[in-house]
Structure 1
Amino acid sequence: MDLPIVDLSAYLSSSAAAAEELAALCSAVSGSLRETGALLVKDPRCSVEDNDRFLDMMERYFERSEEFKRQQERSNLHYQVGVTPEGVEVPRILVDEDLQEKIRMMPEESKPSIPKGPDPKWRYMWRVGPRPEQTRFKELNAEPVIPEGFPEWKETMDLWGYKMISAIEVVAEMAAIGFGLPKDAFTSLMKQGPHLLAPTGSDLRRHGCEGTVFAGYHYDLNFLTIHGRSRFPGLSIWLRNGQKVEVKVPIGCLLIQTGKQASRLEWLTGGECLAGMHEVVVSKRTVDAIELARQQNRSLWRVSSTLFGHIASDATLEPLGRFAEAPLASKYPPVYAGEYVEQELAAINLKGKKM
């Protein structure tokens, strides 16, 4: 199944677009998030060259020694800035009994791969955008970490991060309109949120065997997640009907997924939009891409170009507008977004000691 591709150009230049065209685009965005938990977008502001520049730098970073990378580790800040080493993050599938029961009920062709332990991937967290001066959740709003020897780091991370946040904000506006909510229903809650550019690095020399699970079956704990195109495939998602789909992100496109705050979108829509489930596993297509990279003498680190768009930590999550009357609204009681994030981080072994 091919996910729908929404070109954001018409919305960005809305003065030149007919009202009917814009309404149809917004309906397509909200409909895809509701029915599949994902969609592909084209944003003229996010170029292939920007994505490649970011991937090139992150490949060079992940290729550095473990000793070097651990200098950027900040476990006391819940790994929400700096590097998360391989073997730390525990896949939700291993700690969530409800997910395990759900998987037992799935048909064989739709079941996820079961990991044997913590994810064999590194991740780097880079904060994007301003943070609040006063907050109840200091660990979620800490200052960024810059590794030595990468003078272009801040400029490269900020350039790609801000462009991806801009794309998420447009999709959030369009989704709100499509859901019949005010245009800023979601984006107003995202102001000064702990947005994180969070690329993963997976060593395909060590972990390139077909079936290796880099990121076990899980949902993202944030509001909306956006991915640029990786140089190695392997991401699969589950549609709302339970169908498993290996995602192919066309060149020039970005993948948007609903997170648990999208269960914050799930939370804000009273369960109408469910958090998108996904995994990253070495597939036959990944193995083919590894062989081609070897022939071309390219890096064998699989880097994901991922950004987590968050609701502000001190904002309250609760169903909005007409969703407050939804049949499942009572399952989503008011909670501070930061409190919700801390609970989720503890569940997957990322929450460390308080400051």
Structure 2
Amino acid sequence: MLFGHQNLYLHRHHPFEICQRRNEMLNNPTAEVPLVSLKTAGADPDGFAQAFGDSFRRFGFAMVSDHGIPSDLIARAWEKTEAFFALPEAEKRRYFVEGGGGQRGYTPFKTEIAKGATHVDLKEFWHVGRELPEGHPSAADMPANIWPDQPEGFRDTFTTLYDAFEATGARLLSAIARYLSLEPNWFDSAIRDGNSILRLLHYPPIAEDAPNVRAGAHEDINLITLLLGAEEAGLELLDRDGRWLAVKPPEGALVVNVGDMLQRLTNHVLPSTTHRVVNPPAERRGHSRYSMPFFLHPASDFLIKTLPSCESAENPNRYPEPITAGDYLHERLVEIGLIKA
């Protein structure tokens, strides 16, 4: 592993070959984001952790196949997403909470803006959060979900999908813990009852001469983001050499990226990479684009404090003052215009 765990991969390959391959990926400015299979994590958890962690370290992104989220559930979710966003504007706005920071329910077109951007994003979205039992201590930090009257089966579909995303996200964080020489269950208590959000995104058709991108250049706030739907063209990351690199996963694969909370926790060992969604070619601008990111958050009282193993003389601690996940989230929501200061 990066900070000391032995990689089972070493037993099957010469050490020089392994180092050469790792250095090629970490240092090659024209490399592509690799595709890794989560199915391999069962038989070779250290090998998967190394491949997944190296991709995070190099790009801040990874592509993951065999992620375990059922394909029939995903198909149903796409159907419900398209059906909801096809509703009349007045009907959708019934579920918009003024002053709610977009945390639950509907957020209208041209509301969110990337930090430092001059144009608002060309999207509308719906947020699903954790379903909490009555009287749960986290209810003060996490508002109750809002559920539309239509389409039928919306609530059941997205509570099930939320749970599936969370289970896959926990497996991926376990791999990251291994990569960072932590216990595999290190993140379990952090994300238990975490403030994670499932976002249903719709980028409506746009004019052929639309000047601004569908989603401005930004970094995510959370620990990691798991994204379905990125096989539709448009997602790009800002690579080390300053060029934009298209992220094109095979159909059904997840795109997973580092969020600012994990970047801060690891003292930038794992970078939260700037990314955006660009407009399609002019002939495709009359078509909608849909995606479903799951923003995996820790609990609001989780203290984001630099991991000692991520500090060194070459990489001194950038964040000597810890901050809770709840306070950090609030700061960032103000920056992107979802909460008024």
- TM bracket, shorter-chain basis: 0.7 to 0.9
2:76 corresponds to which of 21, 37, 53: 53
Q: Is the 8 A contact 1:176 1:184 kept in 2?
A: yes
1:30 Cα shift?
1.2
Deviation of 1:288 (Å): 5.8
Per the alignment, in what secondary structure is the counterpart of residue 137 of structure 2? coil
Partner of 2:258: 258
Contact 1:27 1:179 (C-alpha < 8 Å) held by counterparts? no
Maintained 8 Å contact 1:271/1:329 = no
CA contact (8 A) 1:265 1:273 kept: yes
- Code of the aligned partner of 1:275: S
State yes or no: 1:86 paired with 2:86: no
| Residues 229, 250 of structure 1: 8 Å contact kept | no
Alignment of 1:327-342 (within 5 A): 327-342=315-330
Match of 2:19 in 1: none
Paired AA for residue 157 in structure 1 = F
Structure 1 residue 28, shift from structure 2 partner: 1.0
Distance in 1 of aligned mates of 2:52 and 2:283: 33
**Alpha carbons of structure 1 residues 288 and 185: separation in structure 2 relative to 1, 3 Å:** farther
Alignment-mate amino acid for residue 170 of structure 1: R
Higher mean displacement: 324-333 or 224-233? 324-333
* 1:184-236 deviation digits (Å, cap 9, x = unpaired): 222321111111111211111x3465764111000011110011125732111
1 or 2, which has the higher helix percentage?
1
Three-state SS of the structure 1 residue aligned to 2:116 is helix
* Residue type of the alignment partner of 2:49: C
Superposition RMSD in Å: 2.3
TM-score normalised by structure 1 residue count? 0.80
Tell me the amino acid that sits aligned with residue 121 of structure 1: K
Q: Give CA deviations for 1:106-152 in whole Å, capped at 9, x if unaligned.
A: xxxxxxxxxx52112101110135489224x83x5110011112230
Runs of at least 5 residues in structure 2 that lack an aligned partner in the other structure: 1-30
> What SS does structure 2 have at the residue aligned with 1:213?
coil
Q: How far apart are 1:46 and its partner, in Å?
A: 1.6
CA separation in 1, counterparts of 2:33 and 2:108?
A: 32
Corresponding residue for residue 111 of structure 1: none
Distance in structure 2 (CA, Å) of the matches to 1:332 and 1:68: 47
1:77 CA drift (Å): 2.2
- One-letter identity of the residue aligned with 2:130: V
Q: Distance in 1 between matches of 2:302 and 2:92?
A: 33
User: CA, structure 1 residues 333+129, in 2 after alignment: closer, same or farther (shift >3 Å)?
Assistant: farther
2:124 is aligned to: 122
In the TM superposition, what is the alpha-carbon distance from 1:48 to its structure 2 partner?
A: 3.3
Match of 2:202 in 1: 201
User: Which residue of the partner structure matches residue 37 of structure 2?
Assistant: 7
Deviations 1:77-129 (A, max 9, x none): 211001111121122132xxxxxxxxxxxxxxxxxxxxx52112101110135
Q: 2:157 is paired with a residue of what secondary structure?
A: helix
SS in 2 for 1:74: coil
CA distance in 2, matches of 1:345, 1:249: 29
Q: Distance in 1 between matches of 2:231 and 2:50?
A: 31
Deviates more, 1:124-133 or 1:249-258: 124-133
SS at structure 2 position matched to 1:159 = helix
CA contact (8 A) 1:201 1:301 kept: yes
Task: Give, as a single letter, the amino acid of the residue that structure 1 aligns with 2:338.
Answer: L
Q: Distance in 2 between matches of 1:10 and 1:256?
A: 17
Q: Equivalent residue for 2:136?
A: 133
Structure 1 residue identity aligned to 2:91: F
Q: Does 1:346 align with 2:341?
A: no
Deviations 1:27-49 (A, max 9, x none): 11111111100001123522333
Does the residue aligned with 1:339 lie in a helix, a strand or coil?
helix
Deviations 1:272-307 (A, max 9, x none): 1121211011133xx56567xxxxxxxx43111111
**1:141-290 matches, cutoff 5 A:** 141-204=142-205, 206-207=206-207, 212-230=212-230, 232-260=232-260, 264-284=261-281
TM-score (norm 2): 0.83
* Structure 1 unaligned blocks of 5 or more: 95-115, 292-299
Aligned in 2, Cα 1:22/1:243: closer, same or farther, shift over 3 Å?
farther
Q: Is the 8 A contact 1:35 1:239 kept in 2?
A: no
Task: Supply the distance in 2 between the matched residues of 1:321 and 1:185 (Cα, whole angstroms).
Answer: 14
Q: Secondary structure at the match of 1:156?
A: helix
Aligned to 1:311: 298
**Matched residue of 2:53: which SS?**
helix
1:8 positional shift: 1.1
| 1:209–1:282 contact (8 Å) kept in structure 2 | no
**Residues 129 and 162, structure 1, Cα contact 8 Å, conserved in 2:** no
Matched, 1:27 2:50: yes
**3-state DSSP class of the match of 2:80?**
helix
Cα distance in 2, alignment partners of residues 129 and 174 from structure 1: 26
Residues 223 and 265, structure 1, Cα contact 8 Å, conserved in 2: yes
The code of the aligned residue for 1:152 comes to G
Once residues 231 and 42 of structure 1 are traced to their aligned partners in structure 2, the CA distance between those partners, rounded to angstroms, is 12
Q: Per the alignment, do residues 232 and 22 of structure 1 end up closer, same or farther by CA in structure 2, a change over 3 Å counting?
A: closer
CA contact (8 A) 1:51 1:305 kept: no
